[in-house]
A and B are shown apart, each in its own frame.
Chain A
């Protein structure tokens, strides 16, 4: 039910969020600037993808 670490969809969501964060950071001139939004988006996307995956099973 919860997004557990072995869930590849959760990990994929986290990576996607962090990648978006890096993109935001680079576009602002400093990668570190994008890290907070990247981490937050990572958590949110991880949960969304994990739950969406669970719903389909």
Chain B
């Protein structure tokens, strides 16, 4: 009934119109403030533009890769295959989800469309959530970049262990009370069902369908990427890192600071190790590990993508649970290594 209501409801144009007006108002106010306070506004705009383009250009190829993977899954993988391969035991299924990134190597930009397609194919919720949180790190590319940056040591090992633990725990918690239909937004389900009705037979037709779905997925998620990248760039421009640096001292605050930084910076998981390397002498190992394990799970741009696919309550859980678990893990690492 609820889904039917969504099918017939026409989305209003007022929401994006208000958003556009707010955007113009915000830019005008910021520009006016910058000019009146004597700041060189072209410098601020230049920094903002560079950061925006940096985030967007870095993320777009991975989103494309994820969208193509999602298209291929939709066209070639049958719901029965998923049911056959997924373990019946919830814990085993969740653990499998945490390692599934080794099969589908996608970062946090590409993992959302892939997870949505897998959910619509009947993937168990706990497995899907564990995959969503674990895959951005649990893939060969990110393993390699972390290894190159930090070598085989406490950071590398802790990152693996914490990512798996957090992904499995959050997967188990959400899987315990949410059905697949309660995880995805009705519009996301509607879109996927529309593709199911026109399943083609031949390989060529299936490939064409996969590309069509990939394009659809890319543009759909691309909207959230643009807005997320703009928000992240804005935060980076308006909140100077130096002022936060003073706050990030101590075994707990340093972890909190690095988590906040990971969320704001929204750096792709494939390159975040090299960025974290710059903080090694400033912050504790627990804080670095927390930055590396929390960032790929949740950041500004992935939050925006989550809101386009998952229900609000699930998005809230997907942010808060990894945040708290990573904080706990980071603090424990700090104490274990004698902060």
Contacts and interface: CB of A to CB of B under 8 A. Distances in A.
A36 interface: yes
Contact of B16 (A2, A34, A44): A44
Contacts of B219: 3-5, 10
Interface in A24-57: 28-30, 32-37, 39-48, 51-52, 54-55
Chain A interface secondary structure, helix, strand, loop or mixed? helix
Interface residues on B, range: 20 to 34
A37 B10 contact: no
A2 B219 CA distance: 10
Nearest to B22: A44
Query: Which one of A35, A40, A48, A52 has the greatest number of beta carbons of chain B within 10 Å?
Result: A40
B208 interface: no
Contact of B223 (A28, A32, A43, A55): A43
B49 A43 contact: no
A33 B23 contact: no
Given A33-B42, A39-B226, A51 B16 contact: yes
Chain B interface secondary structure, helix, strand, loop or mixed? helix
B44 to A, nearest CB: 10
B49 A35 contact: yes
Nearest to A34: B49
A28 to B, nearest CB: 6
Interface residues of A, number: 29
Interface in A1-21: 1-5, 10
B13 A52 contact: yes
B190 A1 contact: yes
B19 A44 contact: yes
A10 B49 CA distance: 24
A34 B42 CA distance: 11
A21 B49 CA distance: 11
A35 B11 contact: no
Query: Which one of B42, B49, B52 has the greatest number of beta carbons of chain A within 10 Å?
Result: B49
B2 to A, nearest CB: 15
A28 B45 contact: yes
A5 to B, nearest CB: 4
B105 to A, nearest CB: 25
A32 B187 contact: no
A37 B16 contact: no
B220 interface: yes
Contact of B52 (A5, A28, A35, A44): A35
B53 A32 contact: yes
B175 to A, nearest CB: 28
Interface of A: 1-5, 10, 28-30, 32-37, 39-48, 51-52, 54-55
Interface of B: 10-13, 16-17, 19-20, 23, 27, 42, 45-46, 48-50, 52-53, 56, 187, 190-191, 215-216, 218-220, 223, 226-227, 229-230, 233
